[in-house]
Amino acid sequence: CAVHLADAGLRVVVLESSDVPGGRARSWADPATGLEVDIGPHVLLNKYANMQALLERLGTAHQICWQTEELLTVLDRGKHLRCKVGGLPAPLHYVRNLPQVLRNVPLRHLLSNIRLGWRTMRSSPRELMALDDQNGRDYLLSAGVSPGFIDWFWASAAMAILNVPVEKCSAASLMRLLAQGLGHNDLAFGFPKVGLSDLYAWPAIRVLQRNGSEARFGCAVNGLVRHGSNVTRVTLADGSSVEASAVVLAVPPTAIESVLPRQHSLTKTAAGFEPSPYISCYLWFDRMLSDARFWARPWSPGCFNTDFYDLSNIRDGTTGRGSMLATNIIWSHRAAELSDREIIDATLAEIADFAPAARQANLIGTAVHHIPMSVPCATPGIETRRPAIHQEKGLFIAGDWVDTGLPFCMESATRAGALAAEQLLAERGITAKLALATPVPGGLTKWLRRSDGPDGF
């Protein structure tokens, strides 16, 4: 948001409570190894138009390693399922995976999704959002999906992408993902070759500085000052203040109550957003374990990690001579009472399931990051509670949790920043088109999908 506003000629001051930029998508040098680690490994999609546009603007788009050979590898019951897309128009692009999937999943379980897929492809965005009051599992069962397939696939999809169990997630959030998955035959994952702060945060700050704007660190905001209906300044935790004719609160919902009064409508809205905690592990080995960049395990209450990244195969030789692995334990309540040693031991065993060489390798370093909120939980009712960006005169909000038409992710946060900049400029009489549209499903689904009307997709 700040980059867009500075590019438009405004003087922007970014007030950051931490001494490191990036918030929930930041990086730093690990104190034991000196190597760059993220708060947790992140993955991008090639459909993230706003994020890619930002990286192009910052000159760091080349720092994404795109996995185009296959979408991902799933370790299921000791077998490596290599999922690929392409070859046929959407939604037929998954057909090429049937032979290997049928080795693990009965055909009747797969066929139980036909009615669900047809209904989803035929639905308009507004019709999908009308499912927000239902949870994912109940809606899948009502659509005829077998319990076995829900446990095998949908439980994993909800956890990996929405960061919440399928029985606790919004059916609207889940079906929006299905609509996108059925509508694109060219999906690809991308992995940052550098730490997240170096990918976008520090480059953005350099852009601000070149444009006469600035970022101040260790500056926690604790309130807004108004003159009549206009915001005139923000107050800081140290007792000082900064003049501001407009304010964008680019913070997570958990931080709103520290800035706005308890009776403010946005404070009440933000209180309804539940954090999804996660634990990210980093493990350094004395040798290379495999040539894989990324793999996943199906969700199971008895397991811990869902996604695994060998950064040594991603970061172009900047991770040392052996493998540097990063993993995510999503919705990490089940590991909350474990010690870091116990978490590492469980993670090491799960890595060895995929890469047996880990059993002979020496573990030369570890780090465990406990993150209270990866993203907000996509619980039933959350989509209709996501707040508007323009709250009142001179006050805007941005972040992955606002109403962007996207799941909680970096693309949602980036689009929110562009939308906030658009609307702030509009309040000043400046017309600018900065935010790029959300992805529109194509292929055969393009012709099946109902429209919301002239202003909808």
- In angstroms, the CA 236 to CA 363 distance is 44
- 93 Cβ neighbours under 8 A, 6+ residues apart: 85, 86, 87, 185, 443
Rounded CA-CA distance 200/71 in Å is 24
C-alpha torsion 358→363→364→368, nearest 10: 110
Core vs surface per residue 50-83: b (16+ CB within 10 A) or e? bbbbbbebbebeebbbebeeebbbbbbeeeebeb
DSSP string, 92-111: GGGGGGHHHHTTTS-HHHHH
Q: What is the DSSP letter of 151?
A: I
Tens digit of each residue's pLDDT, the chain (457 residues): 999 999 999 999 999 999 989 999 999 999 999 999 999 999 999 999 999 999 999 999 999 999 988 889 999 989 999 998 888 889 999 999 999 999 999 999 999 999 999 999 999 999 999 999 999 999 999 999 999 999 999 999 999 999 999 999 999 999 999 999 999 999 999 999 999 999 999 999 999 999 999 999 999 999 999 888 888 999 999 999 999 999 999 999 999 999 999 999 999 999 999 999 999 999 999 999 999 999 999 999 889 999 999 999 999 888 988 999 999 999 999 999 999 999 999 999 999 999 999 999 999 999 999 999 999 999 999 999 999 999 999 999 999 999 999 999 999 999 999 999 999 999 999 999 999 999 999 988 888 888 775 434 4
Give the end of a domain, one of 155, 185, 215: 185
d(CA 34, CA 30): 5
Report the Cα–Cα distance between both ends of the chain, in Å, rounded. Answer: 25
- For residue 5, what is the enclosing H or E element? helix 2-7
Residue 224 lies in a domain: yes
Q: Would you say residue 242 lies in a domain?
A: yes
Residues 6+ apart with CB under 8 A from 227: none
Q: Does 446 reside within a domain?
A: no
Looking at the fold, whether 368 and 293 belong to one and the same domain comes out as yes
Q: Does 328 fall in a domain?
A: yes
SS3 at position 43 = coil
Task: List the domain range (segments joined by +) for residue 161.
Answer: 85-185
Same domain, 209 and 268: yes
Do 288 and 218 lie in one domain? The reply is no
Nearest of 413, 396, 393, 391 to residue 404 by alpha carbon: 413
pTM score, two decimals?
Answer: 0.95
Q: Which of 162, 185, 208 is the last residue of a domain?
A: 185
- Boundary (domain end) residue, out of 185, 214, 243: 185
Beta strands in 110-218 (DSSP E): 189-192, 214-217
Distance of alpha carbon 191 from alpha carbon 65, whole angstroms: 5
330 and 350 fall within a common domain: yes
pLDDT at 447: 87
Q: Which residue has the tokens 């009307």?
A: 453
In a domain, 71, yes or no: no
CATH code of residue 397: 3.50.50.60
If asked whether residues 370 and 285 sit together in one domain, one would say yes
Q: Is residue 74 part of a domain?
A: no
In a domain, 229, yes or no: yes
If one counts the domains in the chain, the total is 3
Contacts (Cβ under 8 Å, ≥6 apart) of 49: 411, 436, 437, 439
Name the packing angle between helices 410-427 and 49-58 (round to 10°). Answer: 80
Q: Is 178 exposed, middle or buried (0-12, 13-18, 19+ CB in 10 A)?
A: buried
Give the CATH number of the domain where residue 297 resides.
3.90.660.20
Residues 180 and 97 in one domain: yes
Beta strand extents in 269-362 (DSSP E only): 275-285, 294-296, 307-310, 324-330
Task: Name the residue type at position 94.
Answer: Y
Tokens for 18? 């931490």
Q: Please give the pLDDT value at position 453.
A: 54
* pLDDT at 70 (0 to 100): 86
Q: Are residues 392 and 251 in the same domain?
A: yes
The pLDDT value given to residue 454: 40
Q: Render 351-362 in DSSP notation, one character per residue.
A: HHHH-GGGGTS-
Q: Does 242 share its domain with 327?
A: no
Residues 157 and 98 in one domain: yes
Residue 86: the pLDDT is: 82
Based on the fold, state whether residues 284 and 303 are members of the same structural domain: yes
Question: Is residue 268 located within the same domain as residue 402?
Answer: yes
Q: Which residues of 100-122 are buried (b: 16+ CB within 10 A; e: fewer)?
A: bbeeebeeebbebbeebbeebbe
Do 261 and 385 belong to one domain?
yes
